[in-house]
Amino acid sequence: MQMLPSFPAIPEVVTGQVLSATTLNTYHEGLRYLLGVSKERRGVQKGTTLWTTLGTGTTLYSGYAPLIGWTVTYDLWFKGGSWSWSIQVYDNSGTWRTVVSGSGVEHVSASSSLTPYSAYLTEGKVYSWRVLASGTSAAASVWHLSIVPSSAPGWTAVPTFTDDTVSSATEINKLRTDLNALNGWQGGYGIPTESANAIVWADKNWRTFYRGSFEWVPGMSMYCSLETKGYISRSDQVIDWQVNLNRPVRDGDYWQSENLYTRQFTKTDLAGDYKRYETVIPSSAFGTMTPGTIYSIVFILFIEIAGGHDQDGDSIWARRPIMHRIMPATPRSGWPSLGQWNEGHWISASRLNAIGTGLTNLYVGGANAIRPRVPIIATGTSVPVMHIHQRPWLVVRANPGSELKVWYAGKVGSYTESFTVKAQEEGVYTSIYLDQFRPLTYGSRYLLEGGTWSSEADEAYTG
Amino acid sequence: MAQSIADTNLAASWAASSAKVAVRVRVDWNRDGDYGDVHEDITSRVQGLSIQHSIYDQLAGLPVLGATAPSRASVVVSNEDCWFSPTNASGLVASYPLIAYGIYRFPIQIELGYYNGSTPERLVQFTGEIEAADESESASDVTVTFACTDNSISLLQYKASTSVYQNLRPDQMIQTILVAAGAATGSSLDQAASTIPYCWMDDENGWEECRDLAQADGGIFFFEKDGGARFRRITAPIERADSLTPVATLNQGNASALRGALTWRDCYSRVTAMYAGRYVGTLDELYKAPSAIIVPPGQTVTEECRLRYPAIDVVSPVYDIDYTAVSSSYDVVAYGTAGVEIATTKYGQRVDLAITNHLLYDTLYICNLVLRGFPLIGDEAQEVRYDQDGALGHVYGTKVYNISGNPYMQTREQAERVAQYMRDRLQQPRLVYVWSGPACPWLQMLDRVTLSHNTMTPNPGIDVDCYVMGNTLRYNAGSMLMQDLTLLPATEVYARANYFLVGTTRYGSYGRAGY
């Protein structure tokens, strides 16, 4: 039975108590756990692939997300004649309630407080969200929509310790308070990524197959993969898989675009059944990026008509795209050295201050800031959602009795192996304890099919 | 922590060559929480008494401090007029009719001290309840002997079930048990050093659970003289003021006897501590009713369902999934106020279902009842092991002390902390003294005293600080108030003398981390 890493129970100290190495080590353990969270692999958010033409009350985007905090963030694009938009939540009273709206601005990248709607929403509960827009001769694209906690609850100023001053339980306990605050800030959910319907592309020129949006963090690289098969009539012809970066700057009908990676599939590559192709875009390939800004990566399939050849019936099938960030193992600047405490060690200010440095480093604005959020996503029951196994529970929104299929990479790495679980009979939300499934090793990717929303979670969902 | 003797002359009276003993024994016959009612002061009838407090068990020894029996007292009172006899209609029973059923579980408090001139100065020496009253009659004497147990009696008789609590410290769970058992008054619980991932009670004895909880932190649980529960964490003797500074000097001037025994028996070269983690299993069937549950019309039946495993949560039974309901006429009975309703109360390893049959005429049959939940599954016990320290350990050969079987020892951190402190305590033989003399009435468990016998015995004599581990008081009317103290020398019970005390020690090279 495998056990997942978990945030430690950190003891509170009291005046008069012998301060123990075990207690001090829980501070380090908590910091290292949170550093891991700051570096965790996070799926990109599947946005609208290109532009959606607006009519009256067009649903641009819809999905579900747990209310882990009281802020909604969004990154929306508009173009054309005139338009207006609103973000709505289906609240406790069964009403679609508008939480933010706007009009006329081409690029809206902002956050909005949900606190004014606290009478209609319950923290921790999963809600249905949507983006509505109306327009005349206009189109729109959604890059990003997520829920973020406003601030770490209970966070207090990190104490500074000075040698030769008398110790204080109050000051030492602030380390515990802040560690718990940062942990509580997380919301307890993973960041999955919605995949896409399988497509068949048999036309010359290009097809944007998938758009994934992400917040840039310095040092990150991006894992990209998809499964393909297809037909190429001639051995000297190829079909491209291009991975392009879209910067949040309009360029003509679309956005500034840079190619990050191209794979040319040959006749041999695409023969037979689906095969997964993958690549990791290194951090250095991204060029100049702004931390905290939302960017997009698109997968493009391109049937090249090279050398004057005709298309000759060339075609490509693609499915199950996956994109997630990978952070470097080494923390960014300023991460403290956290040596193990042992019985008999002197309790010096410098060693305690190292804990404070770690806390500051993880907090808002710190070099390794955690930046918790959960994406608002939804999927058709036949479209898989990619999860990275980092939490003990998988919460799935599914019709009672539905069969949920989990595809895992298995020995061949192509997600051809699977197991099935059944959604709980009595509830829309099924909580699955993942420790029971040996194929799901910590950190591995897997695909879930059959639900309309899912997310890994620290605890079972109780609604 | 020693009792306060501020504004008294008790220290001088105790040290004086003679002092008059001040005694008061009171019983709360009407159980109203005070001792001020008529006939509740029985001092004038007291012929003799003895009291035993101890956290050191002679048989169990140093490894299991605190795992002793509750404190006891025995009070012999005169009963020549059959005053205490339940059958004497003109005796005490006339004022307190409950006594007609026998003297059992009436609160009692014993105070002892010395007179300061004509003013009695007394300190509470025992608070508990009378558990038995034995009448005896001889040619010269008619007495009743009250056998008393301290306030742990509430816990000893308390069995309870609770839900599963997560991440509680031992002191928090002890407090929960004390409150539930009505024994929380006057309690003083140290904040434990460890956190227990999962705790619950399943029809278990409160006293045993509190002791197990304390020992899972390496600490001690007992009831003090004032009747309040005490939890002292493993480092309490090097933290508490009255354990750091002597509160009395026991010198040869007022001693009647002194014995010292080297406890090689309590000496071990290795300490191992076992811990067994628990994890949450997948949703599973935890209970299946062996037969249909029958509920007469218009009635509520409570079904106690014992689960296969303790459960972190149990799904309230869902109609048509976890059970079906039919009437005696084989009609399907709908859920709701016109049919069947089930209220669920969840405990750690038990679920109580209050099943109500709203039918007016038909008996209800609950069929195929199952309960599903997330079980807490126990891992195999794991072990941490610590050998004697090269510089401090003095045990020849290999002798292993094994700490095992405690369900609250669930994490490696707990096991390591307890095993290492225990290793330090047990790795060398300790002289355990028993000092006898006139009673020093303010001493309590873990108080530090100076044992000074350096002129009476051939040099080198004894001049050592000790912790009070046991305290027996004896008094007979007209005689001295005597005391036997069991004392553990404080030297090297802990590996270091300069551990870092929060709130006292300065940061820097002044205090060292404990385990």
| A-chain residue closest to B244, CA distance | A16
* Pairwise pLDDT comparison (B263 vs B189), residue with the higher score: B189
What's the predicted TM-score (pTM) here?
0.86
Contacts of A2 (CB under 8 A, 6+ apart): A435, A438, A441, A442
Question: Chain A: nearest CA to B458, how far in angstroms?
Answer: 38
| A-chain residue closest to B168, CA distance | A9
Can you name the residues that pair with A394 across neighbouring β-strands? Answer: A432, A456
Question: Chain A: nearest CA to B511, how far in angstroms?
Answer: 6
* pLDDT over 70, % of chain A: 96
Residues of chain A contacting residue B497, judged by C-beta atoms under 8 Å apart: none
Q: Are B168 and B195 in contact (CB under 8 A)?
A: yes
Mean pLDDT over B97-117 rounds to 96
Q: Is the CB of B321 inside 8 Å of chain A's CB atoms? A: yes
Please say if the pLDDT value at position A458 is more than 90: no
Please say if the pLDDT value at position A310 is more than 80: no
Structure letter (DSSP) for residue A113 = E
Quote the CA–CA distance of A32 and A338 in Å, as a whole number.
9
Q: Is the CB of B238 inside 8 Å of chain A's CB atoms? A: yes
A16 to B240: CB separation less than 8 angstroms, yes or no: yes
Question: Chain A: nearest CA to B482, how far in angstroms?
Answer: 34
Please say if the pLDDT value at position A3 is more than 70: no
Predicted pLDDT at B455: 62
Mean pLDDT over B150-170 rounds to 91
Q: Are A66 and A455 in contact (CB under 8 A)?
A: yes
pLDDT digits (tens, 9 = 90+) for B362-384: 999 999 999 998 899 887 899 99
Mean pLDDT over B495-513 rounds to 96
B496 to A14: CB separation less than 8 angstroms, yes or no: no
A71 alpha-carbon distance from chain centroid: 16
Q: Is the CB of A435 inside 8 Å of chain B's CB atoms? A: yes
* pLDDT over 90, % of chain A: 72
Predicted pLDDT at A152: 80
Any idea which residue has 């319907």 for tokens? A197
B279 to A1: CB separation less than 8 angstroms, yes or no: yes
- Structure tokens of A342? 């042992």
What ipTM was estimated for this complex?
Answer: 0.85
Residues of chain A contacting residue B416, judged by C-beta atoms under 8 Å apart: 22
| Window A:405-424, CB contacts with B under 8 Å | 424
Predicted pLDDT at A98: 98
A346 to B315: CB separation less than 8 angstroms, yes or no: no
Question: Chain B: nearest CA to A24, how far in angstroms?
Answer: 9
Most confident range (mean pLDDT) of A361-365, B193-197, B501-505 is B501-505
Mean pLDDT over B209-220 rounds to 94
Q: Are B356 and B367 in contact (CB under 8 A)?
A: no
Reported as a pLDDT band with limits 50, 70 and 90, residue B255 is confident
CA angle B347, B348, B353 (to 5 degrees): 35
Residues of chain A contacting residue B496, judged by C-beta atoms under 8 Å apart: 344
| Window B:158-187, CB contacts with A under 8 Å | 167, 169
- From the list A11, A19, A342, the residue facing B195 with the nearest CB is A11
Predicted pLDDT at B386: 95
Contacts of B485 (CB under 8 A, 6+ apart): B250, B433, B434, B435, B436, B440, B443, B449, B468, B470, B471
| A-chain residue closest to B280, CA distance | A433
Distances (CA, A) of B85 to A149, B66, B94, B139, B376: 72, 36, 11, 18, 53
Quote the CA–CA distance of B130 and B149 in Å, as a whole number.
7
pLDDT digits (tens, 9 = 90+) for A149-164: 877 889 999 999 999 9
Residues of chain A contacting residue B194, judged by C-beta atoms under 8 Å apart: 11, 22
Residues of chain A contacting residue B240, judged by C-beta atoms under 8 Å apart: 16
Reported as a pLDDT band with limits 50, 70 and 90, residue B1 is confident
Question: Chain A: nearest CA to B289, how far in angstroms?
Answer: 21
Mean pLDDT over B296-315 rounds to 93
A460 to B501: CB separation less than 8 angstroms, yes or no: no
Any idea which residue has 């025992």 for tokens? B126
Predicted pLDDT at B279: 82
Q: Is the CB of B372 inside 8 Å of chain A's CB atoms? A: no
Predicted pLDDT at A4: 67
Residues of chain B contacting residue A11, judged by C-beta atoms under 8 Å apart: 169, 193-195
pLDDT digits (tens, 9 = 90+) for A170-193: 999 999 999 999 998 888 899 999
Please say if the pLDDT value at position A209 is more than 70: yes
Predicted pLDDT at A463: 75
Can you name the residues that pair with B304 across neighbouring β-strands? Answer: B352
Rounded to 5 degrees, φ, ψ at B176 are -60, -45
Helices within B435-515 (DSSP H only): none
Mutation target among A15, A18, A391 for the B interface, most CBs of B within 10 A: A18
Q: Is the CB of B225 inside 8 Å of chain A's CB atoms? A: no
pLDDT digits (tens, 9 = 90+) for A245-264: 999 999 999 999 999 999 99
Predicted pLDDT at A307: 58
A345 to B281: CB separation less than 8 angstroms, yes or no: no
Reported as a pLDDT band with limits 50, 70 and 90, residue A50 is confident
Q: What average pLDDT does chain B have?
A: 92
Most confident range (mean pLDDT) of A139-153, A407-421, B32-46, B155-169 is B32-46
Residues of chain A contacting residue B511, judged by C-beta atoms under 8 Å apart: 19, 167, 346-347
Q: Are B500 and B235 in contact (CB under 8 A)?
A: no
Mean pLDDT over B256-276 rounds to 90
Helix (H), strand (E) at residue B356: strand B350-357
Predicted pLDDT at A433: 81
Most confident range (mean pLDDT) of A42-51, B109-118, B283-292 is B109-118
Domains and CATH numbers, chain A: 45-148 (2.60.120.1340), 195-326 (2.60.120), 382-457 (2.60.40)
Most confident range (mean pLDDT) of A91-100, A266-275, B272-281 is A91-100
Predicted pLDDT at A2: 44
A164 to B506: CB separation less than 8 angstroms, yes or no: yes
A21 to B169: CB separation less than 8 angstroms, yes or no: no
Helix (H), strand (E) at residue B432: strand B431-438
Domains and CATH numbers, chain B: 152-234 (3.55.50.10), 280-378 (2.70.40)
Mean pLDDT over B249-266 rounds to 84
Please say if the pLDDT value at position A1 is more than 60: no
pLDDT digits (tens, 9 = 90+) for B49-98: 999 999 987 777 777 766 678 999 999 999 999 999 999 999 999 999 99
B508 to A349: CB separation less than 8 angstroms, yes or no: yes
Burial label for A188, CB within 10 Å (0-12, 13-18, 19+), is: buried
* Pairwise pLDDT comparison (A439 vs A291), residue with the higher score: A291
Please say if the pLDDT value at position A306 is more than 70: no
pLDDT digits (tens, 9 = 90+) for A70-126: 999 999 999 999 999 999 999 999 999 999 999 999 999 999 999 999 999 999 999
pLDDT digits (tens, 9 = 90+) for B228-238: 999 999 999 99
Q: Is the CB of B239 inside 8 Å of chain A's CB atoms? A: yes
B312 alpha-carbon distance from chain centroid: 27
Question: Chain B: nearest CA to A169, how far in angstroms?
Answer: 6
Residues of chain B contacting residue A179, judged by C-beta atoms under 8 Å apart: none
- From the list A20, A26, A167, the residue facing B507 with the nearest CB is A167
B499 to A163: CB separation less than 8 angstroms, yes or no: no
Q: Is the CB of B514 inside 8 Å of chain A's CB atoms? A: yes
- From the list A9, A16, A432, the residue facing B502 with the nearest CB is A16
| Window B:394-453, CB contacts with A under 8 Å | 413, 416-417, 420
Quote the CA–CA distance of B336 and B342 in Å, as a whole number.
9
Cβ count within 10 A of residue A98: 12
Please say if the pLDDT value at position A56 is more than 50: yes
**Kind of pairing between the strands at A126-148 and B220-223:** unpaired
| B-chain residue closest to A23, CA distance | B193
Q: Is the CB of A329 inside 8 Å of chain B's CB atoms? A: no
Helix (H), strand (E) at residue A277: strand A275-281
Q: Are A353 and A161 in contact (CB under 8 A)?
A: yes
Please say if the pLDDT value at position B7 is more than 80: yes
A347 to B507: CB separation less than 8 angstroms, yes or no: yes
Mean pLDDT over A60-74 rounds to 95
Mutation target among A23, A347, A353, A438 for the B interface, most CBs of B within 10 A: A347
